């Protein structure tokens, strides 16, 4: 195949999706491959294995030079799919995705559901298609289009895990087990974020961090009758509120300890400004606010910055 222009490439990839990918994603949506946190009996239920098999079979049908496809299972852990595509360029690329899903949740339209795929208005509805079933297909399709045009690429490793929605607690074990095969990648591409719009390529440059802990307040050594103790023993809920107020200002949401603040790099502020300019109200308009609820700020740039 001759070298394609960007427009022809888009066209070609769109055809690949229509011919070979979308119907696989539809099958994938039907599988209730909930992450282990939401399905502790995942191994017995077999849904994660079914999703893995679907992905593995599709990979094996693709004609990529010297591709090696492998499902790896460490004892007692959710499986990973590893696809190795040798290349001739410098450096190593790691592409990441996951096949485990969020639980059903509620609020589905009457004609849609988590395990009931539905194509409407050029969109595919159902659990897991966008997060993160598409990742493997997108990664491999992109590499295939390069190879078809004989455009050189570096060695690529696609790693697809099945524990992400539970906090990826199995992933470090696989990273250790894979050792040198994984090596020290020069570029890591995680196809597992959002995009602002469909008319351009978006890149997530930073994500909020997360700190979790457990807070308990004890005022008595054992339970007593509420009618007896209330008004005498301080309310534990009020003590919790006071403790939380040391961390966060309840009115503004500002985090108070100086040690939890970092200066936002100028480049990030500029990126937020540009993204806010492009997206405008779309930054918040896509959230299903109840009547009367409003976003934290009206200025899209400010909202994006709050997230970094």
- Which is nearest to 97 in space by CA: 112, 107, 82, 86? 82
Q: Which is nearer to Zn ion, 50 or 192 (CB)?
A: 192
Question: Least CB distance from residue 98 to Zn ion, whole Å?
Answer: 6
Q: Does 132 bind Zn ion (CB under 5 A)?
A: yes
Per DSSP (E only), the strands in the chain are 68-72, 80-85, 92-98, 118-120, 123-125, 155-161, 187-190
The residue count for binding Zn ion (CB under 5 A) is 3
- Which is nearest to 128 in space by CA: 143, 110, 113, 139? 113
Question: Least CB distance from residue 193 to Zn ion, whole Å?
Answer: 8
Q: Which stretch binds Zn ion (CB under 5 A): 20-28, 128-136, 206-214, 237-245?
A: 128-136
- Assess contact for 1 and 125: CB atoms under 8 A: no
Q: Which is nearer to Zn ion, 167 or 183 (CB)?
A: 167
Q: Which stretch binds Zn ion (CB under 5 A): 85-93, 120-128, 130-138, 289-297?
A: 130-138
Q: Does 49 bind Zn ion (CB under 5 A)?
A: no
User: Radius of gyration (Cα) for the chain, nearest Å?
Assistant: 24
Q: Does 39 bind Zn ion (CB under 5 A)?
A: no
DSSP 115: T
Question: Least CB distance from residue 117 to Zn ion, whole Å?
Answer: 18
Q: Does 192 bind Zn ion (CB under 5 A)?
A: yes
Interface residue with Zn ion, options 131, 174, 276, 301 (CB under 5 A): 131
Q: What is the binding site for Zn ion (CB under 5 A)?
A: 131-132, 192
């Amino acid at each position: 195949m001759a070298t394609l222009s960007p427009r022809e490439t888009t066209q070609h990839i769109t055809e690949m999706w229509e011919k070979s990918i979308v119907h696989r994603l539809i099958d994938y949506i039907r599988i209730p491959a909930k992450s282990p946190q939401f399905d502790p009996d995942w191994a017995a239920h077999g849904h994660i294995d079914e999703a893995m098999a679907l992905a593995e079979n599709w990979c094996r049908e693709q004609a990529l030079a010297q591709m090696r496809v492998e499902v790896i299972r460490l004892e007692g852990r959710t499986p990973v799919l590893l696809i190795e595509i040798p290349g001739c360029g410098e450096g190593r690329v790691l592409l990441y995705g996951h096949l485990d899903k969020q639980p059903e949740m509620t609020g589905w339209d009457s004609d849609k559901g988590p395990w009931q795929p539905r194509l409407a208005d050029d969109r595919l509805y159902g659990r897991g298609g966008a997060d993160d079933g598409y990742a493997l297909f997108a990664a491999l399709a992109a590499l295939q289009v390069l190879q078809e045009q004989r455009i050189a690429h570096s060695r690529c490793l696609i790693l697809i895990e099945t524990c992400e929605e539970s906090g990826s607690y199995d992933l470090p074990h696989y990273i250790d087990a894979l050792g040198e095969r994984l090596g020290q990648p020069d570029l890591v591409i995680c196809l597992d974020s959002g995009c602002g719009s469909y008319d351009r390529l978006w890149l997530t440059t930073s994500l909020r961090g997360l700190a979790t802990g457990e807070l308990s307040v004890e005022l008595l050594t054992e339970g007593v009758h509420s009618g007896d103790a209330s008004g005498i023993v301080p309310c534990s809920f009020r003590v919790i509120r006071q403790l939380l107020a040391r961390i966060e200002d309840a009115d503004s949401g500002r985090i108070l300890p100086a040690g939890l603040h970092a200066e936002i790099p100028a480049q990030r502020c500029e990126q937020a400004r540009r993204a806010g300019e492009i997206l405008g109200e779309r930054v918040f308009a896509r959230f299903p606010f109840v009547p009367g609820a409003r976003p934290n700020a009206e200025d899209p740039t400010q909202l994006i910055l709050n997230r970094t």
